[in-house]
Structure 1
Amino acid sequence: MARTAKKAPSAKNAFEELSRRGPHDVLHGDLALVGLPGIVCTPRSGLGLPAIAFGHGWLQPPRRYLGLLRHLASWGFVVAAPATQRGVFASHRMFATDLRTALDVAVGVRLGEGEISVDEKKLGVAGHAMGGGCAVLAAAEDERIRAVATLAAAETRPSALEAAARVKVPGLHIAAGNDLLTPAVANAEPIARAWGGAVQLRTVPKASHLGFTEGRHWTQLVLHGKSEYATQRATKALLTAYFLSTLTGDRRGEALLTTDIKGTQIDQTHTRGTLTAA
């Protein structure tokens, strides 16, 4: 009897699967041990793994994204988040350089007990707000980077908007619909329009600027929003699906990347191309 081809999971099923912790045990370490302050999360073991450098938002410590970092690590990614440029007058140019340095560390240092290595052909960058803008700057200057994802991206100096046109790899930009600090119309939307490669702009309508962050922090007194579980859950699923596809060729979340799901919607106006493996 002929075997029936296995159906790809629906968007709903993919969301349920990818929003949950992945199959890998996770190690959590300090980047300062290799010369760069910050956090690194990895699977317990694995050779030739994909790696992502993650940039924090303005004034935010990387620990406010630890759940996301650990989630991605549980799905097989090495994730490094520099804890630099956290002051009021942060240098965007230097933070973009730090994101690239974090990838250098991931590629050049055997992490864990020597049982973890990274494939330099499987590198991505992501970030929230200022970190998202700096991720764009990093990708525009580093040909090793194969995929970019931003959360409530903010404009930077030098301009992330101008840099976006030079980025030819896939980009996923997730905007917060209730963001009073970096509204999509002035930030994520023009970055997506200018993008030089395949791009998708997706909105989480009820998300606030700080909805992507975890726990409490004094900046909630001066910045807009607070930690939001639903926003973080959607982000975990979407970034996992996106980086699995673009960095590893794993298409199990493909339906998730092409369909509106509860709590998020694709902005069709600024979607072109497909988010597939490089």
Structure 2
Amino acid sequence: MAPASAAPGYQPAAPIEATFHAAGPHPVAKRAGADCCSSTGDVYDIWYPSDLGADQTRHPIIAWGDGTLAHPREYDYLLSHLASWGFVVIAPDLTNTGTGVQMLDGVAYLTQLNSDPASEFYGKLDTGAVGAMGHSQGGLGTLNAAARSNGLVKTAVTLEMPSQGLCTSLPPLIPGQNICDIPTGLISGSVLLVSGTADPAPYSGATGGMQGVYDALPASIPKARAAVINASHNDVQGQPGCTNLGCNDGVDSYLGYLTAWFLDQLRGDAQAHSVFVSGTGEFQHNPRWTEQQSNIE
């Protein structure tokens, strides 16, 4: 699989966004449904650099959580892009990811492969640099995974989480478990909250939404939030051309800063870190984003 590439016609609005919006230096490979199993019997899809371990690199891990009724393949463009920048992304093929349990199972599975001399991942993963990211219900799962990981998840990124009001009004997404009640106080790693201004039920706005969960997170952790202008609920699933249902502009506006966030939080990249610094960071002045807030120094 070739590295992800920018959609024709999309022009990033700022220079560091442009750097990380472009495909990274690694060719990308994918294992789809060949790896089994989570604690509930779900197979994994894995995106990874096909030159694993080049120059003695040990690759950080990102656990992905699907939205309700979605599958990992629907996010292929985004997850391939992250792999091109050196991350190994693992996604349980599961349509109810809200507990975060299967996301953590995926990290445990990769950790096992990292210790297996017969695996292509043997000795090539940085199992101390773990992030989590998810869309919609998967955003809830991401925060739940972070809260319950005992510090294993170093950073969490949510995309288009349902508002608290919408979440609690739905029938139980996972029978017998309240995934809407996120134990934010237990989260010790950094958090980035992302929404879209055209999402009909976004985790955005000041009441019971993105602002509320941002404020509920411990003040001691690095955190940021923002909304992509004109992005609807499913833009993050968009390929170039945005042909999927409920997509306005596609995934391109997300690529640069999601990549920068993980490079900062899991690789210590100084240029990527500068993007999110409170008051001065490029992210906070990009005209394609709004509602920016950050406590990062």
Shorter-chain TM-score bucket reads 0.7 to 0.9
The answer for the alignment partner of 1:121 in structure 2 is 128
The answer as to 2:278 corresponding to 1:263 is no
Counterpart amino acid of residue 148 in structure 1: A
* Cα root mean square deviation, aligned: 2.3
Q: Secondary structure at the match of 1:153?
A: coil
TM-score norm. by structure 2 comes to 0.76
Q: 1:137 is matched with which residue: 144, 150, 157? A: 144
| Identical positions, percent | 24
Structure 1 residues 214-241: Cα deviation after superposition (integer angstroms, max 9, x where no partner): 2555xx3xxxx32633xx1221111110
Counterpart amino acid of residue 256 in structure 1: V
Q: Secondary structure at the match of 1:148?
A: strand
| Residue 140 of structure 1, CA deviation | 0.2
Correspondence 1:241-256 to 2 at 5 A: 241-256=260-275
Cα distance in 1 between the residues matched to 2:108 and 2:122: 18
Correspondence 1:157-176 to 2 at 5 A: 158-159=178-179, 162-176=182-196
Contact 2:65 2:103 in 1 (8 A): yes
Counterpart amino acid of residue 76 in structure 1: G
The answer as to 2:156 corresponding to 1:148 is yes
Contact 2:97 2:103 in 1 (8 A): no
Q: 1:135 to 1:91 in 2, by over 3 A?
A: closer
Contact 2:231 2:247 in 1 (8 A): no
Cα distance in 2 between the residues matched to 1:91 and 1:56: 6
The answer for the alignment partner of 2:231 in structure 1 is 207
The answer for the alignment partner of 2:171 in structure 1 is none
Q: How many residues align?
A: 248
Cα distance in 1 between the residues matched to 2:248 and 2:190: 28
Counterpart amino acid of residue 166 in structure 1: L
Gaps of 5+ in 1: 1-10
Contact 2:146 2:187 in 1 (8 A): yes
| Residue 92 of structure 1, CA deviation | 2.6
TM-score norm. by structure 1 comes to 0.81
Q: 1:31 to 1:164 in 2, by over 3 A?
A: farther
Counterpart amino acid of residue 225 in structure 2: L
The answer for the alignment partner of 2:8 in structure 1 is none
**Structure (1/2) with the larger helix percentage:** 1
Structure 1 residues 179-227: Cα deviation after superposition (integer angstroms, max 9, x where no partner): 113341343222211112221111112111111112555xx3xxxx326
Cα distance in 2 between the residues matched to 1:158 and 1:42: 33
Cα distance in 2 between the residues matched to 1:125 and 1:67: 17
The answer as to 2:98 corresponding to 1:92 is yes
The answer for the alignment partner of 1:273 in structure 2 is 296
The answer for the alignment partner of 1:20 in structure 2 is 22
When structure 1 is superposed on structure 2, of 236-245 and 36-45 the one drifting more is 36-45
Contact 1:81 1:102 in 2 (8 A): yes
The answer for the alignment partner of 1:109 in structure 2 is 113
Structure 1 residues 82-140: Cα deviation after superposition (integer angstroms, max 9, x where no partner): 111x2xxx4632xx100001111122214973466222210000011100111000000
When structure 1 is superposed on structure 2, of 164-173 and 153-162 the one drifting more is 153-162
